[in-house]
Amino acid sequence: MTNDALKAKITELLPATGFEEGGQWLNINVEPADWRLLAEQLRLDASLQFDYLFCLTCIDWKTHLTMVYHLDSTKFRHNIVIKAKLDVAKPAIETVSDIWRTADFHEREVYEMFGVDFINHPDLRLLILPDGWEGKRPMLKNFEDPVNMIRL
Amino acid sequence: MVEEIGTTVEGDVLINVGPQHPATHGVLNLLLTINGETIKKVEPHLGFIHRSIEKMCESLTYRQFIYVTSRMDYLSAHINNHACALVVEKGLQVEIPSRAKVIRVLMDELTRIASHELWWGAMAMDLGAFTPFFHAFRERESINDIMEETCGARLTMNYIVPGGVMYDLHPDFQKRVKDFITLYKLKIHEYDEMVTGNIIFQNRMKGVGYLSAEDAISYGCTGPTARGSGVSCDIRKLYPYEVYDQLDFDEILETGCDSFARYMVRIREMNQSIRIIEQLIDTIPEGDFQAKTKAVLKLPKGEFYQRVETARGEFGVYIVSEGGNTPYRIKFRSPGFSNLSALDQMARGSKLGDLVAMMGTLDLVIPDIDR
């Protein structure tokens, strides 16, 4: 599908969606509350079939966090990027680990690095960081650790 | 972790594989739940060599951060560098000389062969055959020598930089690569005689570690791991970069979905890499090996993403720029991280001894997973 067709289709699914064009792929801004429902439709809709989540990450903008999901369809080979703004004080969004199984590990990584709470995630605990790092959120911009220097 | 070890309900036993197990090829810890010899659950514990490369890159300039990326998937160092160079060039909108493009592809494919050679030797060793390791290293050594001559390094090359490549090719490069191709063609049949056609080996691989095509896509598996399940995912074919769209090569697909299929994909892929090198080696264009770029690179405000095909699968670099000379946020989508997450699905219900065969065909490189 072309970007225009994707736009029309997604507006049909979720009328109040913001789009950003001009980048490499079509960007879609969603409210965290709408994300779960849209994700299910993106995965299952016969004309979309976004079955491959190739990147899931988070960006700390100091005033808010942005979750970024890069999606690809192995059947149609169209790509989109979904973005959801999260509250910095209490970041939370519904999990998609049952829709795309790869999100399980990626969400655990974002959870430990950024402190984002993935609602209904089956096994949300530290993956990469060792015990004792719970709640430290090392990838946030305001994180300072004088012992383990990570700023060069 | 220690207090978790022991017998739990219904005869389940928790055991650790790694972090110092030879078959994990690095410091990876798998916490297994087994009942008798049957695996009930595999739980990977990562991070033993996590260096927080993404955070480090936030304070490195676009010329500096390339060097850190060689240390992630060190067997595909060139291809990691390549992805980073491409994403910076995409942001700067620099067109690089055709000579640099061809050199980059040649280096990528030599790296792919070297990586698969090491995987082949190491995997056979995991399964108890020691000799193949020496055969694989014999061929791999000549690739390392070629790299050493041109790049000045044998493992972390840091040769592909934004704008082109660091230095021009060594005068002997073409001759040395042709010698390597001759050697490779002379020796490759030994691989099949020693390992591929070996009945003990086949019995240990066939039907082991089943991963369906749907699961492979859902778990985000890429590279030979997914292609062994018949999923077309070669970035060189689907989203071509550099000169890959002008080259004649096949995407290798196997439909066995088991360890043997993944093994065959890699073996056949090496021949395709040789095919690519043969098409390019005599027609390296003359001219500059680097485009003229400013001393300090500044990417415009925006987001840039580049996907490339490493020896292990799809590697992605995602840069969010605020207009400065360092990235605001950088994310490396490493193939090993996603491939490893499918191990639990593959291993459930199979025997403990088969775990080594499954891990072998995932071709795990731990620094690539931990980053």
Q: Nearest Cα to A72, choosing from B342, B243, B218, B250?
A: B218
Chain B residues lying within 8 Å of A101, measured CB to CB? 215, 218-220, 341-342, 345
- The model's pTM: 0.87
- Give B286-321 pLDDT, tens digit per residue: 888 888 888 888 888 888 999 999 998 999 999 999
Quote the pLDDT of residue A25.
86
Domain ranges of chain A: 3-91
Q: What is chain B's alpha carbon radius of gyration, rounded to the nearest angstrom? A: 21
What ranges make up the beta strands (E) of A92-139?
Answer: 92-94, 117-119
- Give B154-207 pLDDT, tens digit per residue: 888 889 999 888 888 888 899 999 999 998 888 888 888 888 888 888 888 888
Chain B residues lying within 8 Å of A130, measured CB to CB? 47
Check: CB of residue B54 under 8 Å from CB of residue B371: yes
- How far A14 CA sits from the closest chain B CA (Å)? 24
Fold (CATH) for A3-91: Beta Polymerase; domain 2 (3.30.460)
Structural domains of chain B in order of their starting residue, each with its CATH number: 2-370 (1.10.645.10)
- pLDDT for residue A149 is more than 70: no
How far apart are alpha carbons B339 and B244 in whole angstroms?
25
Instruction: Supply the DSSP symbol for B11.
Output: G
- pLDDT for residue A151 is more than 70: no
Q: How much of chain A exceeds pLDDT 90, in percent? A: 20
Query: pLDDT category, A69, cuts 50, 70, 90?
Result: very high
Instruction: Supply the DSSP symbol for B195.
Output: I
Residues 196-235 of B with CB under 8 A from A: 215, 217-220, 222, 231-233
Residues lower than pLDDT 70 in chain B: 1-9
Nearest CA in chain A to B220: A102
How far apart are alpha carbons B117 and B141 in whole angstroms?
10
Quote the pLDDT of residue A33.
87
Chain B residues lying within 8 Å of A71, measured CB to CB? none
Quote the pLDDT of residue B1.
37
B61 Cβ contact list (under 8 Å, min separation 6): B296, B297, B325, B326
Chain B residues lying within 8 Å of A70, measured CB to CB? 305, 316, 318
Whole-angstrom CA distances from B159 to A89, B77, B83, B125, B359 are 43, 9, 12, 31, 30
Residues 331-360 of B with CB under 8 A from A: 331, 333, 337-338, 340-342, 345
Residue whose structure tokens are 């043997």: B260
